[in-house]
Amino acid sequence: MSLKQESKITQGTVLILLIGKFKGKRVVFLKKLSSGLLLVTGPYNVNGVPLTRIKRKYVIATKTKVDLENLEIPEEINDKFFSPKKPINNWEKTEEKFFTKKQDLKNVGLNETQTKLQNQVDKPINEAIKKIQYLKEYLTARFKLQKGQLPHKMKF
Amino acid sequence: MSQEQKKEVKPKKVQKKNKKKKQNKAPRLHVDGIFMGYRRGLTTQKTGTSLIKIVGVATRKETEWYLGKKVAYVYNASRHHNGSNVRTIWGKITSSHGNSGIVRAKFKRNLPAIAMGKKVRVMMYPSNI
């Protein structure tokens, strides 16, 4: 990765996600984790994107920046915090698991620790978003290519 | 028919178009392209490399942005697998081809000949912006 690219994405830059569940969403960049992945947040109340991490190559960096004034992100939010949970083994064998529908397990939402950290991080970001006109609406709206729009001609 | 058996005439229900569904439709984050054919000379074709015409790209210089981007050929099959009959063949754009904006792509498995003239999706990642 060239130096030019690295300096583009700084704390508070608005990124467009290109892949995954939240593709098209505009999110705020927080920090680069030790694994090299980028830590971002919606914020959660604005567009439903919680604290997540993505690879640099699946993201478009825009010129828009939110002034976060060197926000300190709690050390608890690191790669271990996001490490995938172990898959459910012996799915049919446990009685309880046998009777719960798979649907009920899908969208569990955020658990307690996640919501606590989410609110802690989102609070100053929401305040910073209020200062710029239409920024909240901008973050709520999803990016999409419309008819006649060509990405090689667009300026992000 | 007796009066008891007569059914009440109810006003017809006006079917509301479900506007919410359209708003939450998945956004299009790819550019359409067409699979023109394989790389070829006059009499022989090399099926390992496909030629793709990206919509709106007409010069060699414009193709620079797309080099390295992932491409997907999406098609339907009759058999459902994991709940869906939609299948993809992934590939990436390797280089430009000629001066008029055509582009060469290599797929994980070569594209089937039936895909000629069909749409292909050129993704916006891996992103360099």
pLDDT tens, residue by residue, B49-90: 999 999 999 999 999 999 999 999 999 999 998 889 999 999
Of A95, A118, A100, A108, which Cα lies nearest the Cα of A45?
A118
pTM above 0.90, yes or no: no
pLDDT tens, residue by residue, A25-71: 999 999 999 889 999 998 999 999 999 999 999 999 999 999 888 88
Please give the backbone phi and psi of residue B60, each rounded to the nearest 5 degrees, phi first. Answer: -65, -35
Q: Given strand A59-65, what is the order of strands in its sheet?
A: A52-54, A38-41, A26-32, A13-17, A59-65
Task: Please report the beta strands in chain B, taking only residues with DSSP state E, as ranges in sequence order.
Answer: 30-40, 45-54, 70-81, 84-97, 102-107, 119-123
- In order of A34, B24, B93, the CA distances from B18 in angstroms are 45, 11, 39
Answer yes or no: are the C-beta atoms of A131 and A69 closer than 8 Å.
no
- Chain A positions touching B62 (Cβ under 8 A) are 152
The reply to whether residue A61 touches residue B26, judged by beta carbons under 8 angstroms, is no
ipTM: 0.77
- In order of A23, A117, B92, the CA distances from B66 in angstroms are 19, 39, 9
The one-letter code for the residue type at B4 is: E
Q: Which residue has the higher pLDDT, A83 or A45?
A: A45
pLDDT-based confidence at residue A1 (cuts at 50, 70, 90): very low
User: B56: which DSSP letter?
Assistant: T
Is residue B57 within 8 angstroms of chain A, CB to CB?
A: yes
Chain A residues at the B interface, defined by Cβ less than 8 Å, are 5, 18-19, 23-24, 56-61, 142-146, 148, 150-153, 156
Q: Which of B28, B62, B125 sits opposite A58 (nearest CB)?
A: B125
The reply to whether residue A18 touches residue B26, judged by beta carbons under 8 angstroms, is no
Chain A closest-CA separation from residue B42 CA (Å): 32
- Helix-strand-coil split of chain B, %, nearest 5: 10, 45, 45
